[in-house]
A = this chain, B = another copy of it.
Amino acid sequence: MPKLVDHEQRRRLLTEAVFAVISTQGFEAVSLRDVAQQAGVSMGTVQHYFPTKQQMLSFALSHMRERVLARLQATVGALREPTRRDLIRAATAVMLPVDPAGREEACVNIAFFSAATVTPAYAEQLRDGYGRILAVSIANFREAARLGELRDGINPDVEAPALYFLTQGLIGPILVGLYRPDEALALIDAQLDRVFRPPSS
Protein backbone atom coordinates (compact mmCIF):
# COMPACT_ATOMS: atom_id res chain seq x y z
CA MET A 1 0.00 0.00 0.00
CA PRO A 2 2.16 2.85 1.23
CA LYS A 3 5.28 4.43 0.04
CA LEU A 4 6.08 6.04 3.36
CA VAL A 5 8.13 3.26 4.95
CA ASP A 6 11.48 3.38 6.64
CA HIS A 7 13.68 1.04 4.67
CA GLU A 8 16.05 0.18 7.50
CA GLN A 9 13.25 -0.34 9.99
CA ARG A 10 11.54 -2.68 7.56
CA ARG A 11 14.72 -4.65 7.17
CA ARG A 12 15.09 -4.95 10.92
CA LEU A 13 11.51 -6.15 11.20
CA LEU A 14 12.14 -8.85 8.63
CA THR A 15 15.35 -9.70 10.44
CA GLU A 16 13.42 -10.39 13.61
CA ALA A 17 11.45 -12.92 11.60
CA VAL A 18 14.73 -14.48 10.51
CA PHE A 19 15.74 -14.82 14.16
CA ALA A 20 12.45 -16.47 15.01
CA VAL A 21 12.84 -18.99 12.21
CA ILE A 22 16.44 -19.80 13.12
CA SER A 23 15.68 -20.27 16.79
CA THR A 24 12.59 -22.40 16.24
CA GLN A 25 13.34 -24.36 13.09
CA GLY A 26 17.08 -24.07 12.68
CA PHE A 27 19.49 -22.25 10.45
CA GLU A 28 19.20 -24.68 7.57
CA ALA A 29 15.42 -24.30 7.54
CA VAL A 30 15.59 -20.59 6.80
CA SER A 31 13.92 -19.98 3.46
CA LEU A 32 12.50 -16.86 1.91
CA ARG A 33 9.04 -18.38 2.19
CA ASP A 34 9.44 -19.18 5.89
CA VAL A 35 10.71 -15.71 6.68
CA ALA A 36 7.88 -14.11 4.74
CA GLN A 37 5.26 -16.18 6.52
CA GLN A 38 6.84 -15.51 9.92
CA ALA A 39 6.81 -11.78 9.21
CA GLY A 40 3.25 -11.92 7.87
CA VAL A 41 4.16 -10.59 4.43
CA SER A 42 4.50 -12.06 0.99
CA MET A 43 7.63 -13.51 -0.43
CA GLY A 44 7.98 -10.63 -2.86
CA THR A 45 8.26 -8.18 0.03
CA VAL A 46 11.21 -10.05 1.46
CA GLN A 47 12.84 -10.01 -1.94
CA HIS A 48 12.22 -6.31 -2.25
CA TYR A 49 14.22 -5.50 0.86
CA PHE A 50 16.85 -8.21 0.44
CA PRO A 51 17.87 -8.94 -3.14
CA THR A 52 19.42 -12.26 -2.14
CA LYS A 53 19.20 -14.65 0.78
CA GLN A 54 22.88 -14.17 1.52
CA GLN A 55 22.40 -10.44 1.98
CA MET A 56 19.44 -11.07 4.24
CA LEU A 57 21.44 -13.36 6.50
CA SER A 58 24.45 -11.08 6.51
CA PHE A 59 22.28 -8.14 7.54
CA ALA A 60 20.67 -10.34 10.17
CA LEU A 61 24.07 -11.11 11.64
CA SER A 62 25.00 -7.45 11.84
CA HIS A 63 21.64 -6.61 13.37
CA MET A 64 22.09 -9.39 15.92
CA ARG A 65 25.29 -7.76 17.09
CA GLU A 66 23.47 -4.49 17.56
CA ARG A 67 20.75 -6.27 19.52
CA VAL A 68 23.24 -7.90 21.84
CA LEU A 69 25.10 -4.66 22.40
CA ALA A 70 21.86 -2.79 23.04
CA ARG A 71 20.71 -5.34 25.59
CA LEU A 72 24.10 -5.26 27.21
CA GLN A 73 24.18 -1.49 27.48
CA ALA A 74 20.61 -1.38 28.74
CA THR A 75 21.39 -3.87 31.48
CA VAL A 76 24.63 -2.20 32.47
CA GLY A 77 23.08 1.23 32.29
CA ALA A 78 20.31 0.22 34.66
CA LEU A 79 22.75 -0.38 37.49
CA ARG A 80 22.85 2.26 40.22
CA GLU A 81 26.31 3.12 41.48
CA PRO A 82 27.78 -0.18 40.39
CA THR A 83 31.20 -1.44 41.36
CA ARG A 84 33.42 -2.75 38.60
CA ARG A 85 32.50 -6.23 39.73
CA ASP A 86 28.83 -5.40 39.37
CA LEU A 87 29.44 -4.12 35.85
CA ILE A 88 31.44 -7.13 34.82
CA ARG A 89 29.02 -9.59 36.34
CA ALA A 90 26.02 -7.96 34.69
CA ALA A 91 27.74 -7.82 31.32
CA THR A 92 28.62 -11.47 31.68
CA ALA A 93 25.16 -12.57 32.75
CA VAL A 94 23.36 -10.94 29.84
CA MET A 95 25.30 -13.13 27.44
CA LEU A 96 23.96 -16.31 29.00
CA PRO A 97 20.68 -17.69 27.65
CA VAL A 98 18.62 -17.24 30.80
CA ASP A 99 15.47 -15.63 29.42
CA PRO A 100 13.66 -16.26 26.11
CA ALA A 101 15.30 -13.27 24.44
CA GLY A 102 18.72 -14.40 25.54
CA ARG A 103 18.04 -17.91 24.38
CA GLU A 104 16.92 -16.74 20.96
CA GLU A 105 20.06 -14.64 20.61
CA ALA A 106 22.23 -17.54 21.71
CA CYS A 107 20.59 -19.90 19.22
CA VAL A 108 21.10 -17.45 16.41
CA ASN A 109 24.68 -16.73 17.43
CA ILE A 110 25.72 -20.35 17.60
CA ALA A 111 24.05 -20.93 14.23
CA PHE A 112 26.12 -18.16 12.68
CA PHE A 113 29.25 -19.42 14.44
CA SER A 114 28.69 -22.75 12.80
CA ALA A 115 28.04 -21.16 9.43
CA ALA A 116 31.11 -18.96 9.86
CA THR A 117 33.39 -21.99 9.75
CA VAL A 118 32.67 -22.21 6.04
CA THR A 119 31.65 -18.62 5.27
CA PRO A 120 34.53 -16.18 5.75
CA ALA A 121 32.23 -13.17 5.58
CA TYR A 122 30.37 -14.38 8.67
CA ALA A 123 33.65 -15.16 10.41
CA GLU A 124 34.83 -11.62 9.84
CA GLN A 125 31.64 -10.13 11.25
CA LEU A 126 31.84 -12.37 14.30
CA ARG A 127 35.51 -11.56 14.87
CA ASP A 128 34.71 -7.90 14.77
CA GLY A 129 31.71 -8.12 17.07
CA TYR A 130 33.14 -10.42 19.69
CA GLY A 131 36.53 -8.76 19.50
CA ARG A 132 34.84 -5.52 20.43
CA ILE A 133 33.06 -7.02 23.42
CA LEU A 134 36.26 -8.67 24.56
CA ALA A 135 38.08 -5.37 24.31
CA VAL A 136 35.48 -3.70 26.50
CA SER A 137 35.80 -6.51 29.01
CA ILE A 138 39.56 -6.12 29.12
CA ALA A 139 39.16 -2.38 29.63
CA ASN A 140 36.76 -3.04 32.48
CA PHE A 141 39.18 -5.40 34.17
CA ARG A 142 42.05 -2.96 33.77
CA GLU A 143 39.97 -0.23 35.32
CA ALA A 144 39.13 -2.56 38.19
CA ALA A 145 42.82 -3.24 38.63
CA ARG A 146 43.57 0.47 38.58
CA LEU A 147 40.96 1.04 41.27
CA GLY A 148 42.51 -1.68 43.38
CA GLU A 149 39.44 -3.90 43.31
CA LEU A 150 41.41 -6.95 42.20
CA ARG A 151 43.30 -9.30 44.48
CA ASP A 152 47.09 -9.26 44.56
CA GLY A 153 48.76 -11.11 41.71
CA ILE A 154 45.71 -10.96 39.47
CA ASN A 155 46.47 -10.00 35.88
CA PRO A 156 43.50 -8.28 34.23
CA ASP A 157 44.77 -9.13 30.76
CA VAL A 158 44.53 -12.80 31.65
CA GLU A 159 41.37 -12.78 33.72
CA ALA A 160 39.29 -10.77 31.27
CA PRO A 161 39.64 -13.28 28.41
CA ALA A 162 39.38 -16.16 30.89
CA LEU A 163 36.01 -14.97 32.18
CA TYR A 164 34.85 -14.08 28.71
CA PHE A 165 35.62 -17.45 27.17
CA LEU A 166 34.28 -19.27 30.21
CA THR A 167 31.01 -17.48 29.60
CA GLN A 168 31.06 -18.36 25.92
CA GLY A 169 31.73 -21.96 26.81
CA LEU A 170 28.72 -22.09 29.09
CA ILE A 171 26.26 -20.98 26.43
CA GLY A 172 26.23 -24.17 24.39
CA PRO A 173 25.85 -26.54 27.35
CA ILE A 174 22.99 -24.44 28.69
CA LEU A 175 21.27 -24.47 25.30
CA VAL A 176 21.32 -28.26 25.10
CA GLY A 177 20.37 -28.70 28.74
CA LEU A 178 23.69 -30.02 30.00
CA TYR A 179 24.08 -27.19 32.48
CA ARG A 180 21.51 -25.05 34.21
CA PRO A 181 21.70 -21.25 34.14
CA ASP A 182 22.00 -21.07 37.91
CA GLU A 183 24.92 -23.49 37.87
CA ALA A 184 26.55 -21.35 35.21
CA LEU A 185 26.08 -18.20 37.26
CA ALA A 186 27.49 -19.95 40.31
CA LEU A 187 30.56 -20.84 38.32
CA ILE A 188 30.94 -17.26 37.18
CA ASP A 189 30.53 -15.94 40.70
CA ALA A 190 33.18 -18.37 41.91
CA GLN A 191 35.50 -17.02 39.26
CA LEU A 192 34.72 -13.44 40.30
CA ASP A 193 35.29 -14.30 43.98
CA ARG A 194 38.73 -15.49 43.06
CA VAL A 195 39.62 -12.40 41.06
CA PHE A 196 38.09 -9.60 43.11
CA ARG A 197 38.94 -8.60 46.63
CA PRO A 198 36.25 -9.40 49.16
CA PRO A 199 34.09 -6.35 49.98
CA SER A 200 36.65 -4.81 52.21
CA SER A 201 34.63 -3.54 55.14
Interface residues of A (CB under 8 A from B): 23-29, 107, 110-111, 113-119, 122-123, 126-127, 130-131, 134, 155, 158, 161-162, 164-173, 175-179, 187, 190-191, 194
Residue among B158, B162, B166, B172 making CB contact with A113, cutoff 8 Å: B172
Across the interface, do A177 and B119 meet the contact criterion of CB distance under 8 Å? no
18 pairs, CB–CB < 8 Å, chain A vs chain B: A23-B118, A28-B28, A29-B118, A107-B114, A110-B114, A111-B114, A111-B117, A113-B114, A116-B175, A123-B176, A162-B166, A164-B169, A165-B166, A165-B187, A166-B169, A168-B168, A168-B169, A194-B194
Across the interface, do B169 and A187 meet the contact criterion of CB distance under 8 Å? no
Dominant secondary structure of chain A at its interface with chain B: helix
Across the interface, do B178 and A115 meet the contact criterion of CB distance under 8 Å? no
Across the interface, do B176 and A172 meet the contact criterion of CB distance under 8 Å? no
A165 to chain B minimum Cβ distance, whole angstroms, is 4
C-alpha spacing A25/B117, complex, angstroms: 9
Across the interface, do A175 and B28 meet the contact criterion of CB distance under 8 Å? no
| Chain B residue at minimum C-beta to C-beta distance from A194 | B194
